[in-house]
Amino acid sequence: MLEYNELTDVDFQILNFLNSKKERSIKDILNKFPDKKFSTNYRLELLITGRRNSSGFYIENTSYIVKNYRNERNEHGLIKSINLDTFSITEKGRVALQTYFLSKTKDRKNFIIQVLPILISIIALLKSFDKEIIYIWQLLMQLLK
């Protein structure tokens, strides 16, 4: 099972794609994320793997996505699960996606807070030497003539 810190940007793109619609077919997912380029089938297997209890059954909302099934009764009255070849995002997947987007927003804000003082300092430095810079520029232009 993948932990949140092991998810990659491509994993989050897949989660976002699944989040935009209730269900997505494997064909839609592979059209958007070709297997040769993104190893999509392997990524889906990692995202679908959840925790199991002591009896070996999956614990709900421990995986990021789920494969969808439909239950049907056969002619003997037994219930059979039919694989629909579709995937849906789980609550855990939605929470991971929200956390990812919030951290990206926070990272952008931190970047701006770190870069803005440097830009202001550079502009102030250039402004303080504006006459010298203009003089040097004029000399260069005269030399090039």
| Distance in angstroms (rounded) separating the CA atoms of residues 70 and 10 | 29
pLDDT exceeds 80 at position 60: no
DSSP-derived pairing of the beta strands 24-25 and 65-73:
unpaired
pLDDT exceeds 70 at position 1: no
- Residue 126 makes CB contacts below 8 A (sequence gap 6+) with 133
Closest CA to 69 of 86, 58, 83, 79: 83
| Distance in angstroms (rounded) separating the CA atoms of residues 32 and 74 | 35
Contact 66, 85 (CB under 8 A): no
Contact 46, 2 (CB under 8 A): yes
Domains and CATH numbers, the chain: 4-105 (1.10.10)
* Single-letter code of the amino acid located at 84: L
* Single-letter code of the amino acid located at 63: S
pTM tops 0.85, yes or no: no
Starting at the edge strand found earlier in the chain, the sheet holding 65-73 runs 24-25, 79-89, 65-73
**pLDDT at site 5:** 72
pLDDT digits (tens, 9 = 90+) for 74-99: 788 888 888 888 899 998 899 989 99
pLDDT exceeds 80 at position 54: no
Q: What mean pLDDT do residues 126-138 have?
A: 83
Closest CA to 7 of 61, 66, 64, 58: 64
**pLDDT at site 15:** 92
